[in-house]
Amino acid sequence: MIDIHSHVLPGVDDGSQSLEESLALLSIAAESGVHTLVATPHCNIPGEYENYVSEEMSARFERLDRARQRAGIHLRLCRGMEVFATDDLPRLLRENKIWTLNGTRYFLMEFAFDEDPDFCRWVLRQCKALDYWPVIAHPERYYFVQNDPDIAFDWCVEGFPLQLNKGSILGRFGPDPLRCSHQLLQHGLAACVASDAHSPRQRSTFMGEIQDYLMENFGTDYCRLLLEENPSRILSGRELLGYEPIPF
């Protein structure tokens, strides 16, 4: 499996708070069958977590990867960021202030839970016009998508991939994300599923349970598409695969 969304870089956001926690998260991922994991610290959250590309961020990533190797954790660690959508995001992309997913044109984008859908459409199209390909993080958690899943359908039709959280599918964020995530899966709108891990104790990198759940409830082919094939294509900058999206 490949996990493209995790907060394992220590001490930079609300995820891992220490090197020890980060190594525990990496170990849990590897033991659950994850062979490639992307560190995606929160980025561009005004007044909270900026985390733009810098020598310090690079050094933090390299320290973690060296510690992973010393600990004998057999897992490939890649760079990325979970980028909060703001008016100046297109400028930040032009100025190379954002780590894309493994250096490809794909990058992970999140919105405020109560964002204006018109703003979402505007910023997505602005990024696409720059030849960057936003992967929309956890759309099932946004209130406006829960209230109107046609928004997610329109994103998918325009070519914006949707990344669902394993915790939403398993009911750990409450009934609304559970319902919405299953709607998106049933309508063929999901491109991939990731952990969005924050700590070894809660929202961890353990992906075995979601693999079992998807295989049992959605079939082997869909499971492989969401956990291996499309994440692999994202990290190599290739076109994604999917089922024909079904309108609501």
Tens digits of residue pLDDT in 124-172: 999 999 999 999 999 999 999 999 999 999 999 999 999 999 999 999 9
CA distance linking residue 152 with residue 160, whole number of Å: 9
Q: How many Cα atoms within 13 Å fall on the side-chain side of residue 61?
A: 22
First to last CA, the chain: 30
Q: Which amino acid is at 77?
A: L
The reported pTM is: 0.97
pLDDT over 90 (residue 202) = no
Helix (H) or strand (E) holding 79: strand 76-79
Cβ neighbours of residue 157 under 8 Å, at least 6 residues apart? Answer: 245
| Per-residue model confidence as pLDDT tens digits over 43-95 | 999 999 999 999 999 999 999 999 999 999 999 999 999 999 999 999 999 99
Bridge partners of residue 78, in order along the sequence: 38
Q: How far is CA 66 from CA 63, 72, 141, in A?
A: 5, 10, 34
